[in-house]
A and B are shown apart, each in its own frame.
Chain A
Amino acid sequence: MLSVEHISKSFFRKQALDDVSLGAEKGEIFGLLGPNGAGKTTLIRIINRIVEPDNGVVRINGAIMTRKHLEHIGYMPEERGLYKSMTVEDHAVFLGRLRGLSKQDVTAKLNYWLDKFEIGDWKKKRIEELSKGMAQKVQFICTVLHEPELLILDEPYSGFDPINTELIKNELIHMRNQGKTIVLSTHNMKSVEEICDRVALIHHSKKLLEGRVADIQEERKEGLYAIRFRGNMIAFANALWSGFEVVDTENPSDNLFIVRVKMRGENTFDDLLKVLIGQVKIEAAWEVLPTMQDIFISIVQPKLTEAL
């Protein structure tokens, strides 16, 4: 669907993007990750043709992107604004018409979304009468009003309370299921794990990582397993002997423990369970995969240290 090929961009002496290539498939949610100043927003602006790249091309469905493609893209920037003196309806009509819709189409689609979000009575309200979260909802509606094939969202959850975050998240999943492509730039790693199919990490203007979330986690796992049990910690430790290494321990209640264990030698998860059964009462056991937060920090932190 979206293919970014060898994009470079510099602003005078500062290199914002250096030979970045990545792609998002149809019907997937693609996470664009990176610390502040990494070049994510510049890349998003290039995809939206707000900024021209120095080198490289953007393709949509294999064809070099033109302004015509913008009608099929929905873009919600991080620093998003609305005209305060306009009503919700006028705003939607204005932005919808800029995206190629007729006034009648906009009105019909706006009614659909307002009903869906149960905010029909906001229609005639002026933007300045809305709270920040309400305005963010209106902004989201304006972004998806023209039913774009490609949706680009920069920090879509900022300003939303947990309930509305969930609402937007479910909506994005629904759109993905309808075959829409969603590019999501966010610092919210939990949401990346929850809804992103694939991610790319940009740091210091270069792409450092790209792939499926599950694959990336799998590649970076450290052979850690977690056991939640009831019983005696000494009995647990004695059972392990030297074949396993306790990495850390949590003690949420009196005789409840969660212990993370690393295998030594040729030992496997099965071996771990075998030595523990009968010694403690195991409630749950699972393989510990690195979180996207851990992966993000592990990649970015050394680089930051180098930079310092």
Chain B
Amino acid sequence: MRNSWIIALREVKERIGSRSYVLFAIFGPLIILGLVYLLFVFGGNEAEKWNILVTDKAGILDNKLMPHPDPNVTYSFANDYIEHTDFANGKRYQQYDAMVEINEKVLSNKLSYVFYRTKPSFNLQAKVQYQVERRLEEVMIQRFTDLSVQTFREIKQPIKFSFRNVYDPYDQTSDVRTWVGFFFGMVILAFIALFGMTILRSVTSEKSNRIVEVLLASVRPQQLLFGKLTGVGISAFIQFFIWIIFIGLGLYLMREWMFPSIYDASSMNMAELTDNGRILSVQEKLYAGKEFNTIVDLVYERVNFGVMLTFFVLFFIGGYLFYGSFFAAIGSTAGTENDGQQFILPVLLILALSAYAGYYTVANPESELTGWLHYIPFTSPVVVMVKLTYGYAAGEAYQIWLSLIVLLLSAFFCLSVASRLYKNGVLQFGHRLKLQHLFKWLRK
């Protein structure tokens, strides 16, 4: 054990001292934070601000659209017809991002063109359409019916079919959140692939520079393998903790300094909410809360990071040991470094399939195949992470522990096979690795 620890410490020191490790520790979290920032900025509908000119020659809209101004969209009215070419090139129109054309026959032909300079997001398109439609609706109600707007809208309301999971009637585990599970699973796979390759390189370089024989004169092959896996694993964990600290700190700073209004009630369009609140559906209420951002909500409120990180660590350890044994076995049995990289391709392919299994679980969380993938050690680290976000019903929590036990038992089995291959293969040099070598060394 002492010797394994000495070997592990050497691995940690070498990894942490390497330039690539430091760069990965710095730029990895920065890239993630950058992506999160972009999602914050563009993921919600508060980001774009549009200045729109409404051309309404017939004065149908009566120069108004909404009772209260929208913080993101400003409407100006022109009671004239403007050619879209004039709008495109005319100096006086350059301040407008788009032009909404309300023709004289709009109440009958129900057609309106919107000319934009840069294409707006779907959210903004929907918002403009929603606001113009509602104003036209008011006009039509006044012209063609004796009903009040409120009564008309009550009659017009379609029956909403809200599909709810009987075990989660309040939709506490939304589809969006499962992507967080998928993300965690992908981080596990990415770290396994990255540090698995580190194991492979470390073993093959020890073979190629022949120091392995010196080491084996002091330690057992199993101790050497275990020390190496532990050392690389600890480096991976240190890397991961650096990520957690950087990303956590980054998210905190973003919330405090860059997006201070995220949860500020004053930034919500409360008037819109209260005016129409009584007759709006839940989704419409959310839509009316102008500053609402699903990504922000997801990151800061809806993910239980405590549970996710706990199981992330457990399944990372299991997955790392499981896959790590493959990388170590291939590294020790390969004759050359290139040889090893060829044999590693199938393992990387399995990792890619495992990523697909995670995606499949997001789409089909309850399917029979997902049930199997949940226990198969190749796929369980990522599938369990996704399933965790759906939550386990009371009485089904054993499934996650069972999956973990299966993963750990498989990891120990693979480690014992890998150490046998390691012991017999690590002193073989210069050969071209064939499957028969592996079978031979397994039998020895």
Contacts and interface: CB of A to CB of B under 8 A. Distances in A.
Given A77-B213, A97-B6, A70 B14 contact: no
Contacts of B220: 67
A61 interface: no
A80 B206 CA distance: 10
Contact of A81 (B7, B17, B211, B427): B211
Contact of A80 (B3, B213, B219, B440): B213
Contacts of A99: 218
A77 B214 contact: yes
B10 A50 contact: no
A79 B427 CA distance: 11
A48 B217 contact: yes
Contacts of B17: 85
A236 interface: no
A77 B6 contact: no
Contact of B14 (A12, A45, A76, A85): A85
A83 interface: yes
Interface string B21-33: 0000000000000
Contact of A95 (B206, B213, B218): B218
B6 A75 contact: no
Contacts of A94: 6, 10
Interface string A34-60: 000000000001001111000000000
Contacts of A90: 13
Contacts of A50: 213, 216-217, 427
A106 to B, nearest CB: 12
Interface string B212-228: 11111111100000000
Contacts of A84: 209
Interface residues of A, number: 27
A247 interface: no
Given A94-B10, A95-B218, A12 B210 contact: no
Given A12-B440, A70-B218, A98 B6 contact: yes
B431 to A, nearest CB: 12
B214 A95 contact: yes
Nearest to A139: B214
A222 B441 CA distance: 50
Contacts of B216: 48, 50
Interface in A151-196: none
A273 interface: no
A79 B208 CA distance: 10
Q: Name the residue among A70, A81, A82, A83 with the largest chain B CB count within 10 angstroms.
A: A81
A79 B213 contact: yes
A98 B211 contact: no
Interface in B164-214: 206, 209-214
Contacts of B6: 94, 97-98
Given A50-B427, A94-B6, A83 B215 contact: no
Contact of B209 (A12, A82, A97): A82
Interface in A86-132: 86, 90, 94-95, 97-99
A82 B14 CA distance: 13
Contacts of A142: 214
Nearest to B206: A81
B428 to A, nearest CB: 10
A201 interface: no
Contacts of B7: 98
A227 interface: no
A43 to B, nearest CB: 14
Nearest to A127: B209
Contact of A70 (B212, B213, B217): B217
A49 B216 CA distance: 8
B214 A80 contact: yes
A33 interface: no
A73 interface: yes
Contacts of A98: 3, 6-7, 215, 218-219
Nearest to B443: A12
B32 to A, nearest CB: 29
Contacts of A76: 214
B211 A82 contact: yes
B217 A80 contact: no
Contact of A75 (B212, B214, B427): B214
A76 B14 CA distance: 23
A12 B437 CA distance: 11
A142 B215 CA distance: 12
B214 A81 contact: yes
Contact of A73 (B14, B217, B219, B427): B217
Contacts of B213: 45, 50, 77, 79-80
Among A45, A80, A98, max chain B CB count under 10 A is at A98
Nearest to B221: A50
A81 B13 CA distance: 19
Contacts of A95: 214, 218
Nearest to B209: A81
A82 B215 CA distance: 10
Nearest to B426: A50
B14 A75 contact: no
B218 A80 contact: no
Given A70-B217, A98-B219, A80 B210 contact: yes
Interface in A17-33: none
A157 to B, nearest CB: 17
Contact of A86 (B14, B18, B212, B429): B14
16 contacts: A45-B213, A45-B427, A48-B216, A70-B217, A76-B214, A77-B210, A77-B213, A80-B214, A81-B206, A81-B210, A82-B209, A83-B209, A85-B14, A85-B17, A90-B13, A98-B7
Interface of A: 12, 45, 48-51, 67, 70, 73, 75-77, 79-86, 90, 94-95, 97-99, 142
Interface of B: 3, 6-7, 10, 13-14, 17-18, 206, 209-220, 427, 429, 440
Which 10 A-B residue pairings sit nearest by Cβ, starting from the closest?
A81-B209, A81-B210, A81-B211, A79-B210, A98-B218, A75-B217, A48-B217, A77-B213, A50-B216, A97-B6
Given A76-B214, A79-B213, A98-B3, 15 more contacts: A45-B213, A50-B217, A50-B427, A51-B427, A77-B213, A77-B217, A79-B210, A80-B214, A81-B209, A81-B214, A83-B10, A83-B209, A84-B209, A85-B14, A95-B218
